[in-house]
Amino acid sequence: MDIKKEYECWLENATTDADVVAELKTLDDTKIEDAFYRDLAFGTGGLRGVIGAGTNRMNIYTVAKASQGLADYLKKNFTEPSVAIGYDSRIKSDVFAKVAAGVFAANGVQVNIWPVLMPVPTVSFATRYLHTSAGVMVTASHNPSKYNGYKVYGADGCQITTEAATEILAEIEKLDIFADVKTSDFETGVANSSIQYIPDEVYTAFVEQVKSQSVLFGEEVNKNVAIVYSPLNGTGLKPVTRTLKEMGYTNITVVKEQEQPDGNFPTCPYPNPEIKEASCWIMHPVWMVCRSPMCSSSCWKITAPSWCVLPVPSRSSKHISRLVQRIKKLPKRWKRRFARVLKST
């Protein structure tokens, strides 16, 4: 790739996104090389990279090119190709999702898109429920806020195979990023039904499926158990609290600082519940016992940012005493992890 030539091509043609236009004008030689020395890699996980200007960045042009390649692949493999699309709370996720939808619609691929931000599993679910040919989720999982990504799922709702990724990449590599990508206006697509919002019945069906995964098998539990929940400024607030409440768990406290969707993830360097900076907002020192593999079944681990639920014990002195005694019985390697718990008592 001729980096200088590619950069000049972008200066001339990348005029739609004001952020890209502004950034291109500020790049020095070192930054130009990093932004243009390669195309953003596409594999079984789709695309992932820093948001910005260039072929090695996540922007509306690299997303559109990937969508064109995927559209060409779908048209070769399906008689009536279709796609389900979702997006999370990350910076520009909604923009990238709509750009992708416009490309698919321009290529005759029927688009089904969630009308609001949703957790990653809802795209896999919608792909199966609506029997679409593929699914696309705009997200970058646990990466820092400057990243975004473009996950691709097969018709089975699972991440694409190596073989499928290779075929899609071959289609992408045939394309000129400006000359060969078909685009269309998102709102026009909604108006003519080439782009359709996924109906609420699919969301309800998803919640019902989540509820059916309970492992209680009819056991009686205290549904007034105190639950502290954090979406980590992601997508889980509404689906998680709805699911819990419909199952009878109403004693829910949501961490205020991490409650609302915010792609800047202001409380932590990156939204991974396994790091202290992310989990300290939800975890009283005593609650940290749940991180032990030997914890009682009434404590659950924090899982992914979009589905981060932690039922916690009461703060009664009796219960705390029991937890401390349990910690003291742990092997040394685990006891060290809960030094703060022991110290606080």
- Burial of 112: CB neighbours in 10 Å, binned 0-12, 13-18, 19+: buried
Domain 3-199, architecture per CATH: 3-Layer(aba) Sandwich (3.40)
Rounded-to-integer distance, Cα 318 and Cα 219, Å = 25
- Residue 281: the pLDDT is 62
Would you list the DSSP string of 256-272?
GGG-S--TT-TTSSS--
Sheet hosting strand 309-311, strand order edge to edge: 252-254, 227-229, 309-311
pLDDT single digits (tens) 85-139: 999 999 999 999 999 999 999 999 999 999 999 999 999 999 999 999 999 999 9
The answer to whether residue 295 scores a pLDDT higher than 70 is no
Q: Measuring CA to CA, which residue among 193, 28, 16 is closest to residue 105?
A: 193
Most confident of 53-62, 209-218, 246-255, 331-340: 53-62
Single-letter amino acid, residue 18: A
| Burial per residue of 165-196, b for 16 or more beta-carbon CB atoms within 10 angstroms, e otherwise | bebbbebbeebebeeebbbbebeebbeeebbb
Indicate which residue of 133, 141, 230, 279 is catalytic. 141
Q: Which long-range contacts (CB under 8 A, 24 or more apart) does 160-163 make?
A: 160/44, 160/46, 160/134, 161/44, 162/44
- Token pair for residue 265? 């993830």
- Residue 257: the pLDDT is 87
The answer to whether residue 294 scores a pLDDT higher than 70 is no
pLDDT single digits (tens) 6-33: 999 999 999 999 999 999 999 999 999 9
| pTM score above 0.85 | no
Portions of the chain given CATH number 3.40.120.10: 3-199
Share of the chain above pLDDT 70, in %: 81
Average pLDDT over residues 75-82: 98
The answer to whether residue 315 scores a pLDDT higher than 60 is no
Backbone angles phi, psi at 309, to 5 degrees: -120, 135
Average pLDDT over residues 181-187: 98
> If you compute the radius of gyration of the chain from its CA atoms, what whole number of angstroms results?
23
Annotation marks residue 141 as catalytic: yes
The answer to whether residue 282 scores a pLDDT higher than 90 is no
pLDDT single digits (tens) 228-267: 888 888 888 999 999 999 999 999 888 888 889 898 888 8
